[in-house]
């Protein structure tokens, strides 16, 4: 029998397993009012064994539970802290080389994101750097980035390819993501996003590139088993609705689950409606989604992954989270970590931005960064809430109530991180691996 981990008497244990959830047994993404039901247990404790939660509840009962167990117990004192499920980041472009700080200055002087891309910068400049980088260099850069994610309380994230844009380079990026998943404490869920930009070799021939994605890349990625999801940058001047749909349908036929970068730049372009129509698990960005397409998302149960950091960094108006929540769309949050439109690893800051730029409440922001984020990557059975049988992924914040996570904005209050029952961050510092 493995060692026990006892997380003792949190100021607030935020289980995300409220009474309503327990009464209905509903395990789908939380919508409307249910996004505010955090299932808080004051003075609550968690006991984990072999990486799995075996007890979640009042500390007196935890002590009784421990009385019936033999063997070694490691205790983490959580008194005065907020304990939440490990944060989940469902949309990142984790694996890339270099940085693009000069583009911030260009945009501050009036250039737009798409203008920079159209003159060969933006995604294409990161693609050049990523193509030149050796696999080991990409691994080292992304591994360091994952350490930063961990220090900000993230225990699972999704990682998209899309800085390769050739069959070999896309596979290279995905191999790196797989190795990171194997070697790093954070679980990495992979998404193939060959349709992230049109490479210069196909300039003026987007259909030709779409053919290559469909006929060469998707089958190669599927054969190598390197990605679970397929995503497309559905946007005016990038991949239009018909091209996006061709790729997504081909991906679905090969067994990929679907995601769509939708309505980020052009108003009412229709990416969210497409996501709903093809049965995508999530539609992401949604800055300019039409009311009709919002209704389609609510109807299809497609999770809206909102990226308020990206809106802020692109100096755009954030997505209409209030309308989405009022209309029954399940909302999740993410960093969109990438070197162009959102160079951050901080889910705590993203939650701050969700409150301050989209008027989400602190409770909704937490649901959107844990349980609903897990739903956006199909992991809601394993992670995203705290109850027996789920993975023991926990984040402990140096705050005595969850509202302070959004009140002290721009600060990292993450104190301790536990991944599969193992303490990986303690006192705000990484614990070295075995």
Binding site for Fe ion (CB under 5 A): 336
**Is 161 among the residues that bind ligand NIG (CB under 6 A)?**
no
CB contact set of 215 (below 8 Å; sequence gap of 6+): none
**Is 320 among the residues that bind ligand NIG (CB under 6 A)?**
no
Phi-psi domain of 348 (left: phi exceeds 0; alpha: psi -120 through 50; beta: other):
alpha
Among ligand NIG, Fe ion, none, partner that 57 touches (CB below 5 to 8 angstroms by kind) = none
Among Fe ion, ligand NIG, none, partner that 164 touches (CB below 5 to 8 angstroms by kind) = none
119 CB neighbour count, 10 Å cutoff? 11
DSSP track, 190-255 = EEEEEETS--GGGTT-HHHHHHHIIIIIHHHHHHHT--SEEEEEE-TTSB-HHHHHHHHHHHHHTT
Residues 84-123, one symbol each (x = binds ligand NIG by CB under 6 A, - = not), give: ---------x----------------------------xx
Q: By CB under 6 A, name the one of 30, 257, 261, 420 that touches ligand NIG.
A: 261
Indicate the residue whose CB is closest to ligand NIG.
340
136 CB neighbour count, 10 Å cutoff? 10
Site size with ligand NIG, rule: CB under 6 A: 13
| Bridge partners for 422 per DSSP | 419
**Is 340 among the residues that bind ligand NIG (CB under 6 A)?**
yes
Q: Output the smallest distance, CB 256 to ligand NIG, in A.
A: 18
**Is 309 among the residues that bind ligand NIG (CB under 6 A)?**
no
> Nearest Cα to 262, choosing from 300, 225, 218?
300
Q: Which is nearer to Fe ion, 103 or 393 (CB)?
A: 103
Q: Which is nearer to Fe ion, 139 or 163 (CB)?
A: 163
* Pairing of the two strands 282-285 and 303-306: parallel
**Is 371 among the residues that bind ligand NIG (CB under 6 A)?**
no
Segments in 135-197 forming alpha helices (H): 135-151, 167-183
Stretch that binds ligand NIG, among 73-81, 202-210, 339-347, 377-385 (CB under 6 A): 339-347
Q: Which is nearer to ligand NIG, 126 or 289 (CB)?
A: 126
According to CB under 6 A, which residues from 126 to 155 bind ligand NIG? 126
Q: By CB under 6 A, name the one of 264, 293, 320, 364 that touches ligand NIG.
A: 264
Query: How far is residue 121's CA from residue 5's CA, in Å, rounded to a whole number?
Result: 49
Residue 263 contacts residue 239 (beta carbons within 8 Å): no
**Buried/exposed code over 381-401 (b: 16+ C-beta within 10 A; e: otherwise):** eebbbbbeebbbbbbbbbbee
Among Fe ion, ligand NIG, none, partner that 233 touches (CB below 5 to 8 angstroms by kind) = ligand NIG
By CB under 6 A, name the binding residues for ligand NIG: 93, 122-123, 126, 233, 261, 264, 310, 336, 338-341
């Amino acid at each position: 029998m493995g060692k026990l981990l006892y997380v003792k008497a949190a100021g607030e244990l935020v289980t995300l397993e409220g009474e309503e959830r327990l009464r209905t047994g509903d395990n789908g993404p939380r919508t409307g009012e249910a996004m505010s039901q955090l299932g808080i247990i004051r003075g609550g404790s968690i006991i984990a064994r072999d990486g799995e939660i075996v007890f979640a509840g009042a500390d007196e009962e935890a002590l009784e539970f421990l009385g019936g167990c033999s063997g070694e117990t490691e205790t983490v004192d959580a008194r005065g802290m907020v304990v939440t499920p490990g944060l989940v980041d469902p949309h990142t472009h984790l694996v890339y080389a270099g940085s693009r700080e000069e583009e911030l200055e260009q945009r501050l002087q009036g250039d737009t994101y798409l203008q920079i891309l159209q003159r060969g910068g933006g995604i294409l400049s990161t693609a050049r750097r990523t193509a030149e980088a050796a696999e080991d260099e990409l691994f080292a850069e992304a591994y360091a980035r994952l350490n930063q994610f961990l220090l900000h309380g993230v225990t699972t994230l999704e990682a998209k390819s899309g800085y390769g844009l050739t069959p070999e380079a896309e596979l290279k990026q995905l191999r790196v993501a797989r190795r990171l998943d194997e070697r790093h404490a954070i679980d990495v869920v992979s998404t193939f996003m060959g349709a992230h930009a049109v490479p210069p070799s196909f300039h003026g021939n987007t259909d030709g590139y779409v053919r290559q994605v469909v006929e060469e890349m998707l089958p190669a990625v599927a054969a190598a088993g390197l990605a679970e999801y397929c995503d497309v940058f559905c946007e005016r001047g990038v991949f239009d609705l018909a091209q996006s749909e061709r790729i997504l349908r081909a991906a679905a036929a090969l067994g990929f689950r679907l995601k769509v970068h939708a309505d980020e730049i052009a108003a009412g372009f229709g990416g969210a409606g497409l996501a709903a129509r093809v049965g995508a698990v999530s539609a992401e960005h949604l800055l300019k989604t039409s009311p009709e397409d919002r209704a389609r998302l609510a109807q299809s149960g497609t999770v809206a992954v909102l990226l308020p950091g990206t809106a802020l960094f692109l100096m755009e108006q954030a997505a209409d989270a209030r309308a989405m929540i009022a209309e029954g769309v399940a909302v999740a949050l993410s960093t969109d970590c990438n070197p162009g439109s959102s160079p951050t690893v901080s889910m705590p800051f993203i939650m701050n931005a969700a409150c301050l730029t989209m008027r989400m409440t602190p409770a909704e922001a937490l649901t959107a960064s844990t349980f609903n984020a897990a739903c956006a990557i199909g992991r809601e059975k394993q992670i995203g809430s705290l109850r027996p049988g789920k993975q023991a992924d926990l984040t402990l914040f140096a705050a005595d109530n969850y509202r302070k996570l959004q009140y002290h904005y721009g600060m990292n209050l993450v104190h301790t991180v536990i991944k599969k029952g193992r303490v990986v961050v303690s006192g705000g510092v990484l614990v070295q691996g075995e």
